[in-house]
Each structure stands twice: as structure tokens, then as C-alpha cells.
Amino acid sequence: MDYTIEELISAESLASKVKEIGTQIEKDYSNTDEIILIGLLRGSTVFLADLAREITLDAKIDFMVVSSYGNSMNSSREVKIKKDLEEDISGKHIIIVEDIIDTGYTLEKVREYLLLREPASLKICTLLDKPERREVEVPVDYTGYTIPDVFVIGYGIDYAQRHRNLPYIGKVIMKESKS
């Protein structure tokens, strides 16, 4: 399958938006001793790294590996937790950091799973939100961009493990095959 990539969100816009979200998190948690940022691997890594640098509060970072896509462009709706947290989150302030919310299945499963551990609070931060694809509603506290139902890559987001290193968010445009 052949495709092209069209820039959707520039690197400059991303940097500005991440700074804005970091400032809001600092304001919201100004009376808190510590927060734990939980990145959902692998897509959130670039966003999480940049976001963490914008927060001057004491912030721990932990990761989960959760999958519902594999190498497909569509969610399988079967959510698997492949790597769990190392931090004890009981009584702690948690922010799940996600690259993109699509159907909502993955994030809702992770949210329910983490709430069983009784954190003091649990908020969700996503770089990209596709509300028109939503099948399961999840409460999102921090959103970078609301985007249309297009397949995107870059800034940590992949297509079959490729293009994560792009400094911008690109829209994938599939080319018609000539058969």
C-alpha cells in the first residue's frame, strides 16, 4: 500500500500547545506535593517527554504498554495490558498521558483498571482527540487538539511502527493502487 503524508499540525504549534497544557497542569496541581504521569507506550513517549519538561512540580513518570491496534489502522476493540505500572499509585495524583483518543476503548479500560488501585485523583491528558470516532465516553481533562477522523502519524504516533520520529503530526493519505 502506498501513501503520502501531509502536515496537519506543525512542530511549532505542538511546542506551544504542550507548554500551554503544562502550565494548566501546574496551576491545577499547585497545592500538590507530587503527581505521577503515566504514559501509554509507545505513542505517548514524545508528548510525555515534552510535557514533563514543561512541568516544574515534582512529577514521577511511569509507563504502561496497552494495545488494541497491532499493525492495523483500526482498533480491534480487544484491549491488552502488556506491561503494568511499577509505581504504587494508591493515594497519589495520577495523570494518564495519551497520544490520541479514538474509539475510547483502550483509555476506558486503562482508566477503570487504575481506579481500582484507589488513586487520590485520576485525570486524562491527550494530545489528540477524535470525538467523531468515539464509541466509549471517557472524561478528558486536558486536550491538545480536536482533529477530524483522519489517520495521523508523527510526534510519537506510528503506522506499523514507522514515522514516530516526525517532528510534526501528519495526515496519512492513501494512494489508489493501479491494478
Please report which residue ranges of the chain form alpha helices under DSSP H.
11-28, 45-54, 105-115
Is residue 145 in a domain? yes
**According to the model, what pLDDT value does residue 78 have?**
74
Q: E-strand spans in the chain?
A: 3-9, 35-41, 59-67, 80-83, 93-101, 121-129, 142-146, 152-153, 169-174
**According to the model, what pLDDT value does residue 80 have?**
82
d(CA 139, CA 86): 24
Quote the distance between the C-alpha of residue 45 and its chain's center. 8
Is residue 55 in a domain? yes
Is residue 161 in a domain? no
Q: Which domain holds residue 24?
A: 10-150
**According to the model, what pLDDT value does residue 159 have?**
86
**According to the model, what pLDDT value does residue 94 have?**
98
Q: What are phi and psi of 116, to 5 degrees?
A: -65, -20
Is residue 59 in a domain? yes
Is residue 159 in a domain? no
CATH number for the domain harbouring residue 27: 3.40.50.2020
Is residue 134 in a domain? yes
d(CA 64, CA 86): 9
Other CB atoms within a 10 A radius of the CB of residue 120 amount to: 12
Q: Confirm if 103 and 136 have CB atoms less than 8 A apart.
A: yes
- End-to-end, the C-alpha distance of the chain in Å comes to 12
Q: State if pTM tops 0.85.
A: yes
Domain count, the chain: 1
**According to the model, what pLDDT value does residue 82 have?**
92
Task: Please report where in the chains the cell 511549532 appears, as a residue.
Answer: 12
Tens of each residue's pLDDT in the chain, 179 residues: 588 999 999 999 999 999 999 999 999 999 998 999 999 988 999 999 999 999 999 999 999 998 765 554 555 567 788 999 999 999 999 999 999 998 898 899 999 999 999 999 999 999 999 999 999 999 999 999 999 999 999 999 998 889 999 999 999 998 876 65
What is the three-class DSSP state of 176?
Answer: coil
Is residue 14 in a domain? yes
Is residue 127 in a domain? yes
**According to the model, what pLDDT value does residue 116 have?**
96
Distances (CA, A) of 66 to 40, 46, 178: 7, 17, 36
Known catalytic membership, residue 62 = no
> Which cell goes with 123?
485525570
Catalytic residue among 33, 50, 58, 102: 102
